[in-house]
Amino acid sequence: AWGTAWAAAGIAVIHVAHPGADAAVYAPPASAVRARVAAATSLAAQVARIGDIGFVLDRVAAGGHEGACDLARLDLTRLGVAGHSIGAWTAAVLAGQRLPGGANFADPRVRAAIGFSPSAPASIDAATAFAPVTIPFLSITGSDDGLAADRAAPFHAMPAGGKYLLVFAGADHLVLSGAFSRAPRPADDHVTAVAGAATTAFWMATLGDGRRDWRGDLRPMLAAGDSIEEK
């Protein structure tokens, strides 16, 4: 849903599938899912996903064509990265989040980032981990998205300046992925419409000319119980 909204606004979108951290993790048999999830969330696997993004960006920078896409049309001076859940961790690390031991994999080409259902690290103090994130960062979560305090922790731990937290009443973890398969929930249509509009406006403000008041445009769209914070 998010890629569709962004592309409709004229933004080039690249979806990256990481082997070992895709839909195959949850494929039958159910008895193997726990082990696959553990492997996908290991530090080594997460660092490998960061490398995947760097590879893709290097490939785009090299120009040429990828299928029917002329890579020379893409403007790497206006690059953002976004992800959901594990992908939100990847986006935060590329934006500057420090890893246990002090490792930093920030990519200077990334100018703004969005984390859908982000989370605080378990083995390092959140303030220490997120202190190096100085680029604009939009965190998005919901009241039914697991532990609300954990999902909001990255926003609160990041330094002030271009940081935003959008919380949807009734939104769960799956709807925030933008591509989910489960029984419909009351908040789904609202979350999909508003998150698509909000993230598109955020990209335009941070990667475009920066003159649009995207928060002012967003607030009339929020439902009762929704909120947006900024610092």
Percent of the chain with pLDDT over 70: 98
- pLDDT bucket at 200, cuts 50 / 70 / 90: very high
pLDDT beyond 70 at 148: no
Average pLDDT for residues 101-105, to the nearest whole number?
Answer: 88
pTM of the model: 0.94
**How many CA atoms within 13 Å lie on the side-chain side of 75?**
7
